[in-house]
Copies of this chain bind each other. A is one copy, B any other.
């Protein structure tokens, strides 16, 4: 096994991430949800209802940024805002039925390009990517 120093790996990994994410973004179907919108909607699906703050923390953005993203989703009727039962300051965000439908459709189209690419890899390579994804999520949480 080749040994990598943390420094040289940091450089390579950063390059890979930026190129790769740009490539994924390009595979976006026109007129549908953006990267960030889909990501927020996904979090709402997976975690059920969340406050803006919780969603912002999960998505690793600042609250005002999340206000904007949620605003777009709300404009399209994909997310609903309801008042918190006991705390008047807070708001509860949840995906609507239409949000869930749009999510499912978009998710599939969105993953299509990537899934095709991944399908061309060997099982070992997919395994490497899967384990790397877990590590990256863990590091991102730190």
Q: Which residues of A approach B to under 8 Å, CB–CB?
A: 1-4, 6-7, 9-24, 26, 35-36, 39, 42, 59-61, 107, 110-111, 114-119, 121, 123-137, 139-142
Which among B10, B60, B132 is the interface contact of A128 at CB below 8 angstroms? B132
Q: Are A23 and B107 in contact (CB under 8 A)?
A: no
Determine the distance from Cα of A11 to Cα of B42 in the docked complex, in whole angstroms.
10
Which among B16, B111, B131 is the interface contact of A11 at CB below 8 angstroms? B111
Copy number in the complex reads 2
Which among B23, B24, B117, B127 is the interface contact of A1 at CB below 8 angstroms? B127
Q: In the complex, what residue of chain B is closest to A43 when comparing beta carbons?
A: B15
Determine the distance from Cα of A73 to Cα of B22 in the docked complex, in whole angstroms.
20
Q: In the complex, what residue of chain B is closest to A123 when comparing beta carbons?
A: B3
Determine the distance from Cα of A124 to Cα of B18 in the docked complex, in whole angstroms.
23
Q: In the complex, what residue of chain B is closest to A124 when comparing beta carbons?
A: B1
Chain B neighbourhood of A13, CB < 8 A: 114, 118, 129-130, 133
